[in-house]
């Protein structure tokens, strides 16, 4: 039950941030980073807690799956970038910078279902 509550809170924050930046929908704004590099980074740095591939499960009940994050209604690259640069109560205080953040965002967005 705690996993759902944490994910609901995280999803709510991401939806709010998404709504704030929804006006920036140009193709260039949506296409950032390298998907394969982002997956490599996710596998190496994020998979200890998060399910990072499609239909993967998180080993930590407080850590949402990347597939679920990508499919939050209205999710954008900008919202994910803001989320990566914001500390979360249940997450280690990691700093994902510059191109690594862009690559990770590109990978997460690649998990979006049509």
Q: What is the pTM of this model?
A: 0.71
**What are the tens digits of pLDDT across the range 14-28?**
555 454 444 444 444
Percent above pLDDT 70 for the chain = 73
Q: What are the chain's domains?
A: 2-110 (1.10.760)
Query: What local confidence, expressed as pLDDT, does residue 26 receive?
Result: 43
Tokens of 68: 């679920």
| CA-based nearest residue to 89, from 113, 63, 53, 109 | 63
């Amino acid at each position: 039950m705690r996993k759902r509550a944490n994910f609901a809170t995280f999803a709510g924050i991401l939806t709010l941030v998404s709504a704030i930046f929804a006006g920036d929908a140009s193709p260039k704004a949506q296409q950032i980073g390298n998907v394969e590099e982002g997956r490599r980074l996710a596998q190496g740095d994020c998979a200890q807690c998060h399910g990072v591939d499609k239909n993967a499960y998180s080993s930590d009940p407080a850590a949402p799956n990347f597939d679920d994050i990508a499919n939050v209604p209205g999710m954008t690259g900008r919202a994910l970038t803001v989320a990566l640069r914001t500390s979360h109560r249940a997450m280690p205080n990691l700093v994902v910078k510059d191109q690594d953040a862009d690559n990770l965002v590109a990978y997460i967005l690649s998990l979006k279902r049509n």
